[in-house]
Amino acid sequence: MLQEAIKGSYVDYKYYRESYSGSKIPEKAFPKYEMQAEAFMHRITFGRVKRLPEIPDEVKKAICAMAEVSYQEDKKTPGVKSETIDGYSATFADTGSSARDAEMYQEAKNFLSDTGLLFRGRSRKYDC
């Protein structure tokens, strides 16, 4: 069985600001969104990133991008998509986690599509 090699956060705020050129997430809020993005990364890569000896730049960039999506989604307030007054009917916009997950996956895919980390089968490179 492979052991976990990486301990601690994969991306710090300095990397987010300087290397990724991020500006959407304030420094105080960054650890929360980085942690959420990291957890999502483990889910979509089947825990492979945890076993790497070091974190590739593509993974760090994907985490930054996903953290921004998560931050932007949290800033949105659930709104009414349509409303009828006389018969009182209101339709709310979809703010479920599935929409957030889809957007986060799309961002991750932009950076990880050529790495093999998103491969759903057994990977000789990452799973042996």
pLDDT in tens, 76-115: 755 545 556 666 665 665 555 678 899 999 999 999 998 9
Cα Rg, the chain, nearest whole Å: 18
Angle at 104 between CA 112 and CA 28, to 5 degrees: 105
Provide the pLDDT for residue 3: 46
Give residue-wise pLDDT tens across range 43-83.
999 999 988 889 999 999 999 999 999 999 888 755 545 55
Q: CB neighbours (10 Å) of residue 123?
A: 15
- pTM for this prediction: 0.78
